[in-house]
DNA sequence: CTGAAAGCGCTTACAG
DNA sequence: CTGAAAGCGCTTACAG
């Protein structure tokens, strides 16, 4: 089924058929309708390859990611796809681990296929993908990974997210708020911990460790193991740590949230919802970030002007039960 | 940079350039080499759109999935991508939730883009995707979702996986093996539980429930709450249930694996590795399944004959610490 | 051994 | 108001 078939069936030339279907050119309204009707009847669908050859637009973009685990990329991906499907744009998925050679292969495959743009996504704000995207013939948007000079980069506003968490604890009457978090060499850890310090003061030095339940456990052990006043709230660097913290507190007979409020970060459903009690957490809005990234490459691909630089997207507090209190929005 | 530029720079016609680059036709070896060298120098890369228009092959396939969560699809996806990237095939990701209209939109977008084939993937062996793929003009392979009559379907061998688990427990000397699992209306639950019964006998009726830690907890409560001999091993329907079971046992002062061995299913790293002790679990080999699915659509797309029907891929036992014992392969 | 020509399926000036 | 022609970037019979 090609446009030839449509033209033949409608008794017009292929140029007329084309113009009828694209609502361009000038012709009798009745001719246009007839062509359209017949195209519908015989199930004509234009070949995107042929169309792309002419228009220099493939209605295709590539998503490059090194987050094989999918924890961060998955929501970003969902957002991108959701935003673009309405515009007829499809997404190539390119998982490159941390392999530069594999990255190169995927980038070349994408360019061969004439993608209209590329979104680079990662699992860390302060790391680059292992492939150079700085001088490609197509626009590139960085989402949740470090971009190059003068690029467009989208990231979550971790400082604002941390403030949200700590202010929520303060608002619930908590005054002795501790902070147990991940490795200090993570940019987001530093962002979150300085925001924490601004709001909470320095009741307790920040406890840096690793992104694991076991570290949450261990940190609770060390806080409760030494003398002195105990926290009445703990702001955790991610949900896994928070889960370890909650479990450790329960094992010590400390009630959450009655005695101690706990708030996590990431709002990772599988962890946050299965914790007893379920975790109040900060959501980085990765799906929204993906949506924005999608619309941004699209704009760039269409030649619309986009201000380069880093754009921070706001985080959101998701209230469950580990802090007490009720969602301010409910 | 088009083939015209290559031809001009090499001083040959575009047909000769094309043949030189594709190693077809006949020409002086030296001409061929010169064309190739020049193409390399000016960085020529053939336009896949133009090529696809002629060859009727886009070197593109579509992955349709309703597993937004990504738990099952993610490894399948990784396998597909890994298998196909070497063949120059790129993958369109189409997340359709359970929305038939969205599914339709994605299928049409893929067909417009002339995909060489489609892989349909899901989160349940006994459910169909909400879109009819039975009479498409391109080959379809079903992976971890129910296929249509006479289609090619790839799935894990859940019965074999369950046997693996129970035999492992038996081999460790466990004789009173219980089975706590998910909802009975899941095909995979029935597969696993009948395999369990075959091997373990009926020491204890199978406990059906939901796929959650809380159910693992509760089930342990009910087994240990009533009189009679207690199990010395528990085979769980998935890792979340297993984690609930392990936590509940620990809270009762029952040692894992000394008193009771526990084995999970899915080998979901984030759950299995964070459990204390880490879970021995059954891996469904979803990445391998993805790889197979990729190679299978590819074969179909190239017209190679593939036997229709359901192909079951073997599961694998991953030994951690929740059963005791050491991996048979180590 | 090499090149001119036709064609993949479509769109878009340009004539009429 | 409608159609013939050229062309997007490539490949492939077919002549020479």
**Which residues form the domain of B36?**
3-46
Q: Is the dihedral of CA B175, B180, B181, B187 positive or negative?
A: positive
A92 and B93 within 8 Å at the Cβ level: the answer is: yes
CATH of residue A102's domain is: 3.40.50.2300
In this complex, the nucleotide whose C1' atom is nearest to the CA atom of residue B5 is D9
Span B43-70, mean pLDDT?
Answer: 92
So what's the pLDDT on residue B25?
85
> What is the three-class DSSP state of B257?
coil
Res. A330 pLDDT band, cuts 50 70 90 = very low
Split into its structural domains, chain B has a count of 3
Per-residue pLDDT tens digits for A107-149: 999 999 999 999 999 999 999 999 999 999 999 999 999 999 8
Residue A325 has pLDDT above 90, yes or no: no
Is there a domain that residue B105 lies in? yes
Per-residue pLDDT tens digits for B288-315: 999 999 999 999 999 999 999 999 999 9
Residue B71 has pLDDT above 90, yes or no: no
Q: What distance in Å separates residue A274's CA from the closest CA in chain B?
A: 7
Is there a domain that residue A36 lies in? yes
Res. A51 pLDDT band, cuts 50 70 90 = very high
Distance A38 CA to D2 C1' (A): 18
Distance B111 CA to D5 C1' (A): 30
Per-residue pLDDT tens digits for A246-294: 999 999 999 999 999 999 999 999 899 999 999 999 999 999 999 999 9
A141 touching B (Cβ < 8 Å) = no
Per-residue pLDDT tens digits for B140-187: 999 999 999 899 999 999 999 999 999 999 999 999 999 999 999 999
Q: Answer yes or no: do A131 and A205 share one domain.
A: no
Average predicted confidence (pLDDT) for chain A: 94
A173: alpha, beta or left? (left if phi > 0; alpha if psi -120 to 50): left
Instruction: State the number of CA atoms in the 13 A half-sphere of A87 facing the CB.
Output: 23
Distance of CA A272 to the CA centre of its chain: 18
Q: Answer yes or no: do B166 and B246 share one domain.
A: yes
A81 and B93 within 8 Å at the Cβ level: the answer is: yes
Q: Point out the least confidently predicted range of A87-91, B111-115, B322-326.
A: B322-326
Span B80-98, mean pLDDT?
Answer: 94
Q: What's the CA angle centered on A147, arms A141 and A150, to 5 degrees?
A: 85
So what's the pLDDT on residue A329?
53
Query: Which chain B residues have a beta carbon less than 8 Å from that of A68?
Result: 74, 78
So what's the pLDDT on residue A327?
65
Res. B325 pLDDT band, cuts 50 70 90 = confident
Q: Answer yes or no: do A241 and A298 share one domain.
A: no
Per-residue pLDDT tens digits for B99-131: 999 999 999 999 999 999 999 999 999 999 999
Per-residue pLDDT tens digits for A153-210: 999 999 999 999 999 999 999 999 999 999 999 999 999 999 999 999 877 899 999 9
B242 touching A (Cβ < 8 Å) = no
Res. B330 pLDDT band, cuts 50 70 90 = very low
Rounded Cα–Cα distance for residues A38 and A46 (Å): 14
User: Chain B interface, mutation test: which of A55, A113, A216, A252, most B Cβ atoms within 10 Å?
Assistant: A113
Q: Answer yes or no: do B94 and B29 share one domain.
A: no
DSSP B170-182: HHTT---EEEEES
B210 touching A (Cβ < 8 Å) = no
Query: Which chain A residues have a beta carbon less than 8 Å from that of B88?
Result: 109
Q: Answer yes or no: do A124 and A195 share one domain.
A: no
So what's the pLDDT on residue A69?
76
Q: Answer yes or no: do A175 and A267 share one domain.
A: yes
Q: Strands of A117-124's sheet, edge to edge?
A: A309-313, A152-156, A140-145, A117-124, A60-65, A90-95, B90-95, B60-65, B117-124, B140-145, B152-156, B309-313
Res. B328 pLDDT band, cuts 50 70 90 = low
| Tally of CB atoms within 10 A around B147 | 22
Is there a domain that residue B329 lies in? no
């Amino acid at each position: 089924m090609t446009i030839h078939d449509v033209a033949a069936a409608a008794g017009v030339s292929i140029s007329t058929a084309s113009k009828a279907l694209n609502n361009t050119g000038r012709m009798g309204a009745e001719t246009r309708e007839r062509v359209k009707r017949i195209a519908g009847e015989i199930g004509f669908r234009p070949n995107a390859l042929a169309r792309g050859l002419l228009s220099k637009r493939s209605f295709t973009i590539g998503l490059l990611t090194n987050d094989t685990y999918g924890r961060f990329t998955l929501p970003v991906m969902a957002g991108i796809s959701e935003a673009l499907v309405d515009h007829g744009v499809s997404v190539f998925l390119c998982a490159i681990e941390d392999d530069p050679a594999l990255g190169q292969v995927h980038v070349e495959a994408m360019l061969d296929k004439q993608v209209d743009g590329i979104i680079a996504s990662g699992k860390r704000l302060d790391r680059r993908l292992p492939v150079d995207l700085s001088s490609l013939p197509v626009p590139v948007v960085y989402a949740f990974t470090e971009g190059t000079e003068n690029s467009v980069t989208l990231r979550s506003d971790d400082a604002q997210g941390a403030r949200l968490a700590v202010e929520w604890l303060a608002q619930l009457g908590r005054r002795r708020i501790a902070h147990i978090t991940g490795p200090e060499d993570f940019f987001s850890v530093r962002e979150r911990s300085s925001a924490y310090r601004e709001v909470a003061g320095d009741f307790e030095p920040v406890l840096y460790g690793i992104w694991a339940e076991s570290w949450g456990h261990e940190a609770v052990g060390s806080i409760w193991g030494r003398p002195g006043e105990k926290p009445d709230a703990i702001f955790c660097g991610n949900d896994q740590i928070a889960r370890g913290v909650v479990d450790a507190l329960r094992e010590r007979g400390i009630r959450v949230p009655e005695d101690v409020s706990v708030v996590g970060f990431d709002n990772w459903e599988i962890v946050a919802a299965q914790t007893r009690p379920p975790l109040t957490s900060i959501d980085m809005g990765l799906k929204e970030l993906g949506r924005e990234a999608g619309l941004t490459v699209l704009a760039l691909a269409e030649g619309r002007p986009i201000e380069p630089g880093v754009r921070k997207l706001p985080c959101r507090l998701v209230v469950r039960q580990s802090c007490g209190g009720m969602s301010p929005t409910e």
